[in-house]
Chains A and B, each alone.
Chain A
Amino acid sequence: AQRVTQPEKLLSVFKGAPVELKCNYSYSGSPELFWYVQYSRQRLQLLLRHISRESIKGFTADLNKGETSFHLKKPFAQEEDSAMYYCALFSGGYNKLIFGAGTRLAVHP
């Protein structure tokens, strides 16, 4: 079955600390994965996609097929990073996305 698991509902860190938001997936084919973010009172938006291999707002994510993981990392968290983060898997077909339950990142001063 196709599934995305984000094991942490809440991740609380202090400003300047490293951040790792965990995401594991279950998919039989070659996966295409994304991180979406929703800041307070803003709409859900794409943060990054694994095929781009880019760093957005200091965040990176590496696809590890052996561990079926796509963890989101940032070396030094900022208060403005506080948001809900959703990992999502592209399931093909009609442009279908399968979302995880999300992790709330709270960065404290």
Chain B
Amino acid sequence: EADIYQTPRYLVIGTGKKITLECSQTMGHDKMYWYQQDPGMELHLIHYSYGVNSTEKGDLSSESTVSRIRTEHFPLTLESARPSHTSQYLCASSETSGGAYNEQFFGPGTRLTVL
């Protein structure tokens, strides 16, 4: 079934740990995105990718990094987690066609808490 998967759904971790948030999609989409959302605030785009070996930073500066080695996989890594990284992280994907908007489909999110 075509879907977007994120693991883990919840993560509580100590300061200084390295973490990787997983995102995979079976939608066959080229474009993928990572959003960060603090409680009661806007979703902010932190990374996006047009396809394999293509990654770009979004509007909100983030200390996280991403990679896109396979079309369906777009993991996000924090080398050294800090309490300021506590947030919800949403992964999304979309098709690529022309200049019009292509609907972004969202994963269930990962809620990260750094103690």
Q: Which A residues have a C-beta under 8 Å from some C-beta of B?
A: 4, 9, 32, 34, 43-46, 49, 86, 90, 92, 94-97, 99-102
Contact = CB atoms under 8 A, between A and B. Distances in A.
B43 A86 contact: yes
B45 A97 contact: yes
14 contacts: A9-B40, A34-B101, A44-B43, A44-B90, A45-B106, A86-B43, A92-B99, A95-B94, A95-B102, A96-B45, A99-B44, A100-B42, A101-B41, A102-B40
Nearest to B103: A46
Interface residues of B, number: 25
A43 B106 contact: yes
Interface of B: 31, 40-45, 48, 50, 56, 59, 90, 94, 96, 99-109
Contacts of A90: 101
A6 B8 CA distance: 30
Contact of B40 (A4, A34, A49, A101): A101
B109 to A, nearest CB: 7
Contacts of B40: 9, 101-102
A86 B105 CA distance: 14
A37 B107 CA distance: 13
Contacts of B109: 43
B31 A95 contact: yes
A94 B48 contact: yes
A101 B41 CA distance: 5
Nearest to A36: B106
Contacts of A95: 31, 94, 96, 101-102, 104
